[in-house]
Amino acid sequence: MHILNEDLYKILIVEDEIKIAESLKQGLEENGFVVDVCNDGNCGLLSIEQNFYHLIILDINLPSINGYELCKLIRQRNLQVPIIMLTALSSLRDKLEGYDTGADDYIIKPFEFKELLMKIRVLLRRTLNHKIPEGTILRAGNLEINLESKEVKRGETTIHLTMKEFQLLEYLMRNKNHIVSRANIAIHVWDIDFDTNTNVIDVYISYLRNKIDKPFSQKLIHTQVGFGYILSENQL
């Protein structure tokens, strides 16, 4: 079993509330992490361009460059560093926007520090243990995804996905012809415990269907009522 050596990991906190930022810095350093802090988006972007980080914590309401825009800029640079959005905004629309910009997880203020620490450890372990399987192409029918270039195609048609849509599709493809529950999707794609009060997963399944299935005659993503979803080339 792999043990996570936290003293090897460097985290950037971009948070304009100085007391919160310093409190998080102290708590993470007490748990063995190396931590940098920025109090506005410009500082955060400069730090990201000049340093390597294993994980980034972003507030959304930041001066100069807000968290959504900063997250987009990070992903445009093809950086796959895990990002946790830290914010007081709690609506489904806010969460979807955060995931659409490339965030890996989302935590609502106020929160327990232990909850944030748990999410950090989960994301770091996932990053540490992530291995591209032998061959970097996953296929189902004429659907093909390249795990290295992040390209998605159906036949000769290129399909553009957000990062979270890609992660969801990859999970479905890795479990091709097997039913996956909404709870398993929540854990493996969002790294969160399943919340029966949210329909984020259903919204993203709908996004995928509109891009992957709707323009084509053969449907690949199927709903198994009461169980979850299955990606299959077979007509169900």
CA gap 2, 131 in Å, rounded = 14
User: Is 1 within a domain?
Assistant: no
What is the per-residue pLDDT across 18-27, written as a single tens digit (0 to 9) for each? 999 999 999 9
Q: What's the half-sphere exposure (Cβ side, CA atoms, 13 Å) at 72?
A: 10
What is the per-residue pLDDT across 181-224, written as a single tens digit (0 to 9) for each? 888 888 778 765 556 567 888 999 999 999 999 999 899 999 98
CA gap 82, 116 in Å, rounded = 13
| Angle (deg, nearest 10), helices 92-100 and 163-174 | 80
Across 127-136, 143-152, 157-166, least confident range: 127-136
CA gap 210, 206 in Å, rounded = 6
141 phi and psi angles, rounded to 5 deg: 60, -130
Same domain, 77 and 95: yes
State the residue range of the domain holding 64.
6-129
Same domain, 120 and 178: no
Same domain, 160 and 95: no
User: Is 236 within a domain?
Assistant: no
Across 76-80, 132-136, 158-162, least confident range: 132-136
CATH classification of the domain holding 44: 3.40.50.2300
Q: What angle do CA 105, 133, 122 make, to 5 degrees?
A: 25
Across 130-144, 147-161, 166-180, 218-232, least confident range: 130-144
What is the per-residue pLDDT across 48-104, written as a single tens digit (0 to 9) for each? 988 888 899 999 989 999 999 999 999 887 677 899 988 777 677 777 777 888 888
